[in-house]
């Protein structure tokens, strides 16, 4: 050991890329092991521990806690908007059986809409069937609290949860393509709406932006309020209702790059 010198490894571009990918996979594994796909209800003030030395965010949390009682965290894996949105929407519909039945009918019709747009049936089928299975399973549980427990269980089983996300991604893509003329003005870089859908909407782990939220709300005929909590100078958080003028059925907290569910 004494006189031996440890030579520094020479890393080519290919090796460097592989190391970066390995690090990314390790981070993803650590996130998966430490964070549930959909967490338990927590008081809003539980956010304080994340920002204990950050007065800007502590003020924002104080503002948030004046309007909301609880938060439900979702895994930060790029699917958080779609997972949070779908979960929160179904959860609140369990309180209203008529709303849930109307939603089930909407989803029943949605598969044919995707096929008419040219989505291959073999691609759509499994995701559609899983989405319908989850809806019917929670609908058939008469006790609301038990139905919510079942929803939580299913959304924390990777197979069910990810299939729910994929189907909502497909529905969002379908709506964007159906109304290309309107949405094309929101897409930069010379891409068509179809290109954008193939690259940014349909693939798993792709993060969501304003355009995804607008299209998802339109596809599912519902509204969402997104509360933006960032380092902006105001002590209050900015709120956006989408679509504008629609009473929100779902409330989400957005922190740069991530969505969680809020409860009044």
Say yes or no: 161 and 217 in one domain: yes
The verdict on residue 28 lying in a domain is no
Question: What range defines the domain where residue 164 resides?
Answer: 77-222
CATH code at position 112: 1.20.1300.20
The verdict on residue 108 lying in a domain is yes
What's the sign of the alpha-carbon dihedral 230, 208, 108, 133? negative
What one-character-per-residue DSSP string does 148-196 give? HHHHHHHHTSHHHHHHHHHHHHHHHHHHHHHTHHHHGGG--TT--HHHH
Say yes or no: 148 and 50 in one domain: no
Taking the CA atoms of residue 106, residue 98, residue 41 and residue 216 in that order, the dihedral angle to the nearest 10 degrees is 20
Say yes or no: 65 and 135 in one domain: no
Say yes or no: 197 and 235 in one domain: no
Say yes or no: 56 and 157 in one domain: no
Please list the pLDDT of the chain residue by residue as tens digits (264 residues).
444 444 444 445 557 777 776 776 666 666 656 789 999 999 999 999 999 999 999 999 999 999 999 999 999 999 999 999 999 999 999 999 999 999 999 999 999 999 999 999 998 999 999 999 999 999 999 999 999 999 999 999 999 999 999 999 999 999 999 999 999 999 988 899 999 999 999 999 999 999 999 999 999 999 999 999 998 877 889 999 999 888 899 999 999 999 999 999
217 flagged as catalytic: no
The verdict on residue 139 lying in a domain is yes
Say yes or no: 125 and 241 in one domain: no
Q: What share of the chain is helix, strand, coil (3-state, %, to 5)?
A: 60, 10, 30
Q: How many CA atoms lie within 13 A of 11 on its CB side?
A: 8
Single out the catalytic residue among 63, 70, 80, 197. Answer: 80
Say yes or no: 116 and 166 in one domain: yes
| pTM score of the predicted model | 0.87
The verdict on residue 22 lying in a domain is no
pLDDT number for residue 10:
45
pLDDT number for residue 147:
98
CATH code at position 63: 3.30.200.60
**Are β-strands 224-228 and 250-255 bridged in parallel, bridged antiparallel, or unpaired?**
parallel
> In total, how many domains does the chain have?
2
Q: How far apart are CA 184 and CA 188, in angstroms?
A: 8
258 flagged as catalytic: yes
pLDDT number for residue 32:
59
Single out the catalytic residue among 3, 63, 77, 241. Answer: 77
175 flagged as catalytic: no
The verdict on residue 181 lying in a domain is yes
């Amino acid at each position: 050991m004494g006189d031996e010198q440890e030579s520094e490894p020479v890393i080519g571009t290919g090796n460097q890329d592989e190391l970066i990918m390995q690090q990314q996979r390790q981070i993803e594994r650590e996130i998966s092991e430490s964070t549930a796909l959909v967490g338990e209800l927590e008081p809003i003030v539980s956010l304080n521990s994340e920002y204990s030395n950050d007065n800007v965010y502590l003020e924002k949390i104080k503002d948030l806690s004046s309007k909301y009682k609880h938060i439900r965290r979702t895994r930060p894996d790029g699917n958080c908007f779609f997972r949070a949105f779908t979960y929160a929407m179904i959860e609140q519909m369990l309180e209203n059986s008529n709303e849930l039945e109307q939603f089930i009918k909407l989803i029943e019709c949605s598969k044919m809409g995707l096929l008419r747009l040219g989505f291959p049936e073999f691609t759509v089928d499994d995701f559609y069937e899983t989405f319908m299975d989850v809806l019917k399973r929670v609908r058939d549980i008469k006790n609301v609290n038990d139905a919510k427990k079942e929803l939580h269980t299913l959304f924390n089983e990777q197979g069910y949860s990810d299939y729910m996300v994929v189907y909502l991604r497909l529905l969002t893509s379908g709506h964007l393509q159906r109304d290309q003329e309107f949405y094309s003005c929101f897409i930069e870089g010379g891409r068509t709406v179809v290109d954008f859908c193939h690259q940014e909407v349909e693939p798993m782990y792709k993060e969501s932006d304003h355009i995804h939220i607008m299209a998802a709300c339109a596809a599912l005929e519902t509204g969402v309020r997104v509360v933006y909590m960032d380092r902006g100078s105001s002590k209050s958080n900015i709120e956006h209702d989408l679509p504008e003028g629609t009473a929100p059925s779902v409330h989400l907290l957005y922190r740069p790059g991530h969505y969680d569910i809020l409860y009044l």
